[in-house]
Structure formats: structure tokens, C-alpha cells
A and B are shown apart, each in its own frame.
Chain A
Amino acid sequence: MTDLYDLTIDETRDLLKNGEISSTELTRSCLERIGSVEERVKAFVTVTGEAALEQARRSNCGTLSSDPSMPLNGVPMQIKDIMCTRGIPTTCSSRMLEDFVPIYDATAVERLYSQGAVLLGKGNMDEFAMGSSTENSAFFPSRNPWDLDRVPGGSSGGGAAAVAAGEAIYALGSDTGGSVRQPASFCGVVGMKPTYGLVSRFGLIAYASSLDQIGPITRDVTDCSLVLNAIAGHDPRDSNSIPHHVPDYTSALTGDIAGLRIGVPKEYFVEGMDDGVREALRKATSVLEGLGATLEEVSLPSTPYALACYYILALSESSANLARYDGVKYGFSYRDTDNMWEAMEKTRQYGFGAEVKRRIMLGTYALSAGYYDAYYLKAQKVRTLIRREFEEVMGSYDALVTPTAPTVAFRLGEKTEDPVQIYLGDVYTVPANVAGLPAISIPCGMSDGLPVGMQLIGSHLSEGALLRIAHAYEQATDWHSMRPQL
């Protein structure tokens, strides 16, 4: 039998329901796995072992496990350390919030708890979600379970690494420009960024408010649907939350995609992509054709501008959002001066890491008098062009298929000197954030022993269609069932 920590949520359902295993056994299995591999993988900022066993114990005693509408009951998971968890430190992997203990739970966390979920701990990330490798964590970088000398991707790298390494059955990440999908791609797991507004951002520490979305990181598409079922839905505490009836996403998993139309945007298959990624995508698209879908080349001419558009918007919004860290109400506070301005400047100088400071500085510049029109307003107009292009193309297609990232996981320290080199890795993921569209990354091959991800992008609120295609692909291949040897 498979080790318990390696099961999917779906696989645990019957076992838990029939009493063949208990949540305590399942949770203990994950905690033991954490005990044996975490020293190498470094996926967690905080492990809440005792609290997890207490939650598991309560789940064993309850009657929830016999209720099929609660498939997450008793299943242990990890939450990215950017979502508030009451009474449990929430650091954003930053010195600024190293000692911060929230007084409430994020809505997404609250919804998982209400389903009986068991929290194993908080996931490492790039500081304030700014990065693509977790190397910007103020504490330590996480490692890719497929090759410990390589990054797991980021910013939700701790989540993807934990799920791939068997340390958690699933994880919640957040995706502002690809931070769920790119690490999922690098670690060979499934990661989804829902439509902007589908999952409440209440309690999600803000990076770029018009782009941030919480999303599931799971071992397969069925699990992705189950987690999305639990976290999606209107929340009056997030004013950009969409008042939308949330369907049962598992009902979309029919296995049948015959007759669906899938666009292949030619601007996503240009130079700069690894040959191994190109080859994996070529094979994956022919699998989709073999399943009866029609694939056609489409054009999204503004794609080359999406990266600059994204970074201007994200950095501008981050400079405003991170202005709150002034050392007064919470977080790190520099004390060795009586001067208010010096205290604030030193608080931010020592509390933030280099990349966070760069991004706040660039955002401040882009919003400053005399430059606003040339940068922020211009980017908002380009955002309109990008959104319109997607809308036009999506009128004729059920989804678009692209690589998730131009490369497989890179080596630690390989790309830390020049920020622009790192930003270029986000080229395929940022357009969906700019346009607010749902997108999913699923494993679609290996290149040099490292996982490659395929991205499906859909129109607003088309999560069902994306999950249907991803699931059908998954049924026809076995990339999702591959596990790294640790």
C-alpha cells in the first residue's frame, strides 16, 4: 500500500469514511514525513504538529467524515505564510512580520477549517510573495524535491515543494503573477489561479490588490476541484469578491473533451523556451487532440507587453500596500532613536529584504508626480488591450494552452543578480493575472529529470471547463502520479 502521506485527498475519502484509517494516522504520517525530509526540503516556516494532531483528533470523533459534502475533513494541509491564521505566526517570510501573530483567520483558511481541514503548518515563500524561487525568503530558500540543488519556484514554493515531497496532502498558495502555477510546474504538481474575485482575499496579506488570488496546490485535478469547492464563493469582507453561485467543480470532471476548441497562442511559443519544455508541450497538445479536442493557432499580439504591464501595476500597488509597515501597530519596529522619521526609515530598511525594497522603490517612482501617466496609467491602458484580446479570442475557444514557464526549475543562486532575468520567467503566467482570468498548471512531461507544466487559461469563471480539460488530459497520461525520490 502507498504510504498514507502520498495519498490524494480523493484517495483518503473512502479510507477515512470506512474507518480504515483515522485522521490521526494520516496526520501523523505527514508529520513523520516532515520529520524525515523537511531538513532537506525546507518547505515550512512553521510546523504546527501538536495543533494538527488535536485537529485530527477532533475530526476522528466528529461525524463529519461520513458527510460526503466534506471531503477535506481530517485531511492535513499546508497554508502559505501570507494567509492569516489566528494564533499562529504569519510571517510572509519577512523579518518585518517575524513575530506577527494574527488575531483572525483568512476567509479561505476559515472555510477549510469549517470543512474539518487539519493545518500542518505555514509554507515558506518569497518575502511578501515577491519572487519566483523562494530565494527571497528572509529565513531560508526551499528546495525542489526533484533536485535539491534547484529551486521549487515561487513565490508559493514551500507549498509546491511540500505537496511534491509528501509533507502535505495539499496546500493553499497565492498567485499575483504566477506564484501558484510556476512552482506547481517546477515541482510536478497541480496549481490553479482562479478568476480574480472567486476566492476571498480577506486575510490574505496584500501584495498587489487588483491581481492577488488564492489558489489550490494539489497532486491531481480532482483534488484541485475539491479544494476549490471549499474556498470559492462570495465574501462580503472582500469588496472585489464576485457574487457568483459556485458550482460543484467535481461535476465538470467528465473525462470527455471531444469537440472542445482549444487555442494555441503563437506568441507563447517563441525563442527563450527550453527545448525540453517545447517538446513536452508538443506531445501534450497532441494528447489533447487525440482526446477529440480541436487545437488551432491563435494570436494575442499584446503578449510581449504583458510583462512590463504586470510589473508596473504590481509594483505600484505593492508600494501603496506595503506603506503600512511603519513599526507602529505591528511588525518589526526600530527602537534606537527618538526621531519618528528615522525610526520609520530604519524599520523599513532593516525589516524588508533587498527585492521588497527594490519593488517598493520602483512602484513609488511609477506613481510619483510627473511619471504617473507614463507608467501606471499607461500600464492600465495596456491592461485594457490585453483584456480585450483575451475576450475576443475566448469568444471562439473553450481554453488556451501554453507552457506554464519557459524553463524547468533552475539552480539555486543561478539567477539572483539581475532582477529583470528573474522577471522574464513570469512571461507566460502574468497575462492571466492582468486580465483576471482563471488558469491552471498541470504536469505534462519531464525534461532532464525535471517536471514540465502545461498551462490552460480560460475566460472569466470558466474554472469548470479548465478542470474538465485538465482532468481528461490527466486520465490519458500518468505525469501526475510521478513522485520524486527523496
Chain B
Amino acid sequence: MALGREEVQDIAALCRIGMTDEDLNVMPEQLSHVLEMFQTLQELDTENVAPTGHSVSVDTVMRADESHPSASPENVLANAPQRDGDLFRVKVVLEE
């Protein structure tokens, strides 16, 4: 499974990572090499095998419906790159 420059660009768009020209030159080969290793799994017959999500089975975890204090607005905003009063400031989301 070899990836080309365009496919790498598509994947980068899916995970929102900006790419330089240099990235687009080296990534296809590096990623393709790893995908080759991934391919080895196809040799195994898993026709009637159920998937394992977690190795240790823990049943659905429930807790009592009790209220607990949450973090203060000051704490929640302590690491905000840009804040506006008690709000996170973001770029324009809805454009005209």
C-alpha cells in the first residue's frame, strides 16, 4: 500500500495538520513503509474472531447521580491562549 503526495495531503486535511513542501516530499515514503508493516496482519485468518476493544473487561461503569463542584472559571481559563472575560476567544467560525 503505497501512498502518494496527494493522498498524504488528503490525510493531513482530515487531521488538520498543515504540511510544508518538505513534509510532502518525505512523508509518502515514510508512511508507506509503516503501512507495509501493517499489511502483515492480512496473513492471519480472523474470519470468526470477535474484536477486542479493551484487554480487561470492565462492565459499563455507573456512578451515583450526585453533584460535585466543577473547576472555577478562573481555573478553567487559566491556560487559555486568548480569553475575553470569562470566555475563550476563538477565530470567526460562521462566515457570511
Report A's interface with B, CB cutoff 8 A. 99-101, 103-104, 195-197, 210, 236, 239-242, 302, 304-305, 307-309, 311-312, 319, 323, 326-333, 335, 337-346, 348-350, 352, 357-358, 360-362, 364-366, 368, 374-375, 377-385, 387, 418-420, 423, 434-437, 460
Contacts and interface: CB of A to CB of B under 8 A. Distances in A.
A423 B34 contact: yes
A365 B11 CA distance: 6
B25 interface: no
Contacts of A380: 51-53
Contact of B37 (A311, A328, A384): A311
B78 A311 contact: no
Interface of B: 3, 8, 11-12, 14-20, 23, 27, 30-31, 33-44, 46, 49-56, 58, 61, 63, 71, 75-76, 78-82, 88, 90-93
Contact of A361 (B8, B37, B54, B76): B8
Given A241-B58, A333-B81, A418-B30, 13 more contacts: A197-B56, A210-B54, A304-B40, A305-B43, A327-B81, A328-B81, A331-B81, A340-B93, A343-B91, A352-B17, A362-B35, A382-B44, A383-B51
Contacts of A364: 11, 14-15
Interface centre among B51, B78, B81 (most CB of A within 10 A): B81
Closest 10 CB pairs of A and B: A436-B55, A349-B18, A333-B81, A380-B51, A330-B79, A381-B46, A340-B91, A345-B18, A239-B61, A364-B15
B17 A360 contact: yes
20 contacts: A103-B71, A239-B58, A240-B54, A242-B58, A305-B41, A308-B38, A311-B38, A328-B90, A335-B81, A340-B92, A344-B16, A361-B12, A361-B17, A362-B35, A375-B38, A378-B46, A381-B46, A381-B52, A423-B34, A436-B54
Given A210-B53, A339-B91, A319 B35 contact: no
B79 A383 contact: no
Contacts of B14: 364, 368
B18 A346 contact: yes
A59 to B, nearest CB: 27
